[in-house]
Amino acid sequence: MSTRASTCATASPANGRPDPATPTRPRNVMQVLYSLAVGGSEVFALTVARHMDPDAYRSLLCGVDLGGALQKEAEQAGIPCFVLNRRPGIAWELVGKLYRLFVRERIDVVHAHHFNQLLYSAVAARLAGARLIYSEHNAAALQRRDIRLATRVLALLCHKVVAIGTGVAEAFRDQVGIPAHKLEVIHAGVPISDGAVSRTEARQALGLAETDRVVVTVARLAAVKNHHLLVTAFAEVAQQLPAARLLLV
């Protein structure tokens, strides 16, 4: 199921807040993303949604800007998706659209990925009576002083702030000033299929010897991923360890 923001009606409970979760109603958890296209954050969110206990939680996904290839995959897995088609630039009306969506879907927990989604979701979530979680996947997003200041203020509305990796956690702690009791670190993982090939078969397919020491990085080729630093560092490793191999996927 997908919808545009303009179709989100305000069918709120009598008190304007979601009904409390009960044994007969799982908690509704909506993850808010930039899009539902294939990307690291989006795949991470879909993986989380798929692995939540369906008896305890109902997962939903929202792309504030765009839909994408993951939308069909999510919906086939029974995960409702919503696309709000945010206009370019600062779109404060999106706060109201998100609020109405959260109320209509009786959202208990809003999980915003990245600062831009937090910016629009924070007030909407708290007004809708939902708990708020903010996950940041990239420390580079916190380099700007105005973003750090805004993050520090918006974090006051968050129940938890999640750093995807220790580098982001250090930036949250040292540059933004997120208190330790509110900060959690989660390392993004990749589920391994039961049908994965053996280590020997994989090495043969890639032309690697059993004695090779292999480093693999999986990321899109973009400056923010800092492949340049990895390649520079690996050149020094290879000088000391001739059997070292680097795979960029």
Tell me the pLDDT tens digit for each residue of 49-68.
999 999 999 999 999 999 99
Query: Which residue has better confidence, 58 or 19?
Result: 58
This prediction has a pTM of 0.79
Q: What average pLDDT is seen over the chain?
A: 89
- Indicate the range of 106-115, 131-140, 152-161, 215-224 predicted with least confidence: 215-224
The three-point CA angle 184-51-170 to 5° equals: 20
Question: Mind listing the domains of the chain with CATH numbers?
Answer: 5-185 (3.40.50.2000), 199-248 (no CATH)
Percent of the chain with pLDDT over 70: 88
